[in-house]
Amino acid sequence: MTAEQLSLLKEIMAYRFSVLEFNLYLNTHPRDRGALEKYNKYVKELRDLCFEYQKKYGPLTATFPSEFPWEYYSTPWPWQINYD
Amino acid sequence: MWSYQKYLQYPAKVSKTDLEMAKLLYAQYAGPDSELGAAVRYLTQRYTMPTDEAKATLTDIGTEELAHWEIIATLIYKLVNGVSPKKLQQAGLGAHYAQHGRALYPHDAAGVPFTAAYLQSHEDPIANLQEDLAAEEKARATYENLIELSNDQGIIETLSFLREREVVHFQRFGETLNIVRDHLNK
């Protein structure tokens, strides 16, 4: 994996984590407007980053359109990536 | 990582005529050949698989098993929801009610708690895949027994879908076994 690909992947991981944190917080604070606005902002950023990454490097999920031949199974597995 | 989707893979229909099925469905909730056992087995075995096809098959079938685990849970939940303790006792769920009320618990149809001893994970990928083929057949046979034991058309329809999925998984594991064999013989 190139440094550029890894850096985009790490950005996705960070945004996904932020979305999860707001998700958990909002489950018990559904009327916190400020948190909700941040959640919506991060969800949109995450969606855009995932789209950009998958267009460039192939699928992260099996629910993304694929080039021929089927790409999903051969993109890097999370436990085989060097995160340094 | 995983993301939760707030819908079932297949509708869980219950006409509430067959409360005894709640106890029996625990076979597939957390018994030896249950959806829980299948999910843990495949999602544990996948790391050391030698080909991407095998890693993908185990990841995605393992994930589907978690969706099936949710369907079984939904059937049990709907069957016991609002039912009196006396009626639960008559349906064989007295011991379950004493310990858990109407909450779900990962045990089998006889009340035996789930254990990882139901499954194996080996570095040898052939050994894993042969176990997985057997697991799918045992789950299919269990679904056939459950279908025979039920008189609830909704439950039978849902269990028939789940039975079909075991057949499809068996097919995919067979193909995966061939791919892994070819890879090892190269």
- Which residue ranges make up each domain of chain A? 3-80
Q: Report the gap between the CA of B3 and the closest CA in chain A (Å).
A: 10
ipTM over 0.85: yes
Would you say residue B96 lies in a domain? yes
| Amino acid B22: pLDDT | 97
Query: Helix B35-45 vs helix B20-30: angle between axes, to the nearest 10 degrees?
Result: 10
**Chain A residues within an 8 Å CB radius of B60:** 62
Instruction: Work out the average pLDDT over B111-122.
Output: 98
Residues making up the annotated binding site of B for Mn(2+) are 35, 65, 68, 136, 169
Query: pLDDT tens digits for A56-74?
Result: 999 999 999 999 999 999 9
Q: Is residue B172 part of a domain?
A: yes
CB proximity list for A31: less than 8 A, separation 6 or greater: none
Structural domain containing residue B69? 20-185
- State the pLDDT at residue B118: 98
Instruction: Please count the structural domains in chain B.
Output: 1
Q: Summarize the confidence of residues B86-112 as an average pLDDT.
A: 97
| B10 domain residue, yes or no | no
Instruction: Say which CATH number the domain at B40 has.
Output: 1.20.1260.10
The pLDDT of residue B136: 98
A69 interfaces chain B, CB cutoff of 8 Å? no
Put simply, the answer to whether B60 touches A79 (Cβ < 8 Å) is: no
